[in-house]
Amino acid sequence: MARIIGSVTTSHVPAIGAAIAAGRQEEPYWKPFFDGFKPVHDWLEAAQPDVAVVVHNDHGLNFFLDKMPTFAVGAAPEYRHGDEGWGIPTVAPFRGDPALSWHMIESIVGEDFDLTTCQEMKVDHSVTNPMALLWPGGGDWPVRIVPVCVNTVQFPFPSASRCYKLGEAIGRAVASYDEDLRVVVIGTGGLSHQLEGERAGFINKDFDLKFMDSLTSDPTWATQYSDEELVELTGSQGIELLMWLVARGALPEAARKVCSNYHIPISNTAAGMMVVEPSA
């Protein structure tokens, strides 16, 4: 049977892609951020996942305001990175796993989630940068991916509690897949940031650290907040932390922290990263 070996949650700031392309990892601005991923590389090397379920929020490359699914799941044989501006070089295409995608879709829709199924899907910096942070060096990716996309661009967004439950449904979907696969769940976005308006540059370190701690001490802690409250607490793009809740929900309740990093700022963002794995 397929098995979830853990979750990796991380910020996905576009500037990361530009820094990787320019080889800036050792520069003082970037080093504390990139160094945080060294223990993740060791963990991945030992864990050897076959597939990554990548929970992310598209920013207009794939879905735009005219058609905005709340939850969308990729079922494509391949996912390509389009030119999204920002000066980010595009990366090698990602191999999909349509059989696993369709199994997950059937299982999750079977639990009354209304998903948009995508036999074609482009992926933006919210997929490419986390993948490049986890598997640096370029070339072919060592895992196939199943992208799961959550709307955090146009209100109304799904609630934190709905996102956590989607994660639980993902966990059951993977666990009921009849192939011996090792699956890592990646959640990308956050932590606190706001790119526009009067509060541009807003960061809430206290909340971010409490949130990261809650993922092992009290995983549903953040589901007490409405999306409007989360925007107030973390900024209009800080709401991307919903991806962290989906990823955490996919793991058993008893889970432990493997490693984490928190660094302010990367571009306009409080950059958080955390690896969690099942306790048993």
Choose the catalytic residue: 59, 81, 125, 263: 125
Residue with Cβ nearer ligand DHB (103 or 193): 193
Give the residue with the Cβ less far from ligand DHB, 5 or 121: 121
CB of residue 94 vs ligand DHB: minimum separation in angstroms?
19
Tokens of 86: 């920002």
- Token pair, residue 60, equals 């207009």
Q: Report the run of H or E that residue 3 belongs to, with start and end.
A: strand 3-10
9-17, 112-120, 153-161, 243-251 -> range binding ligand DHB (CB under 6 A): 9-17
Rounded to 10 deg, the angle between the 242-249 and 205-217 helix axes is 10
| 81 is known as an active-site residue | no
* Under 8 Å between Cβ of 122 and 27: no
Which residues ranging from 57 to 96 are in contact with ligand DHB (CB under 6 A)? 59
For ligand DHB, the binding residue among 169, 269, 270, 272 (CB under 6 A) is 269
128 near ligand DHB, rule: CB under 6 A: no
Looking at the Cβ atoms of 19 and 255, the one nearer to ligand DHB is 19
- State both tokens at 258: 């493997």
Nearest alpha-carbon partner for 223 in 246, 206, 203: 246
Residue 89, classed as helix, strand or coil, is coil
Cβ-closest residue to ligand DHB?
267
Element (H, E) at 277: strand 269-278
CB of 254 to ligand DHB, least distance (A): 31
Q: 3-state class of 232 per DSSP? A: helix
Q: Which residues, other chains included, contact 81 with Cβ-Cβ below 8 Å and sequence gap of 6+?
A: 90, 91, 93, 122, 123, 124, 127, 128
Nearer to ligand DHB, 32 or 278 (CB): 32
Stretch that binds ligand DHB, among 12-20, 21-29, 66-74, 157-165 (CB under 6 A): 12-20
Q: Are strands 116-118 and 122-123 parallel, antiparallel or unpaired?
A: unpaired
Q: In angstroms, give the least distance from the CB of 214 to ligand DHB.
A: 21
Residue-wise burial string across 160-173, b where 16 or more C-beta atoms lie within 10 A, e elsewhere:
bbbbbbbbbbbbeb
Q: Restricting to residues 211-250, which ones interact with ligand DHB according to CB under 6 A?
A: 237, 240
Q: Least Å distance between CB 191 and ligand DHB?
A: 10
* Beta-carbon count within 10 A of 48 CB: 11
According to CB under 6 A, which residues from 129 to 188 bind ligand DHB?
none
Among 93, 98, 267, 278, binds ligand DHB (CB under 6 A): 267
- In the complex, which residues of this chain contact ligand DHB (CB under 6 A)? 12-15, 59, 193, 195, 237, 240, 267-269
Active site residues: 125, 193
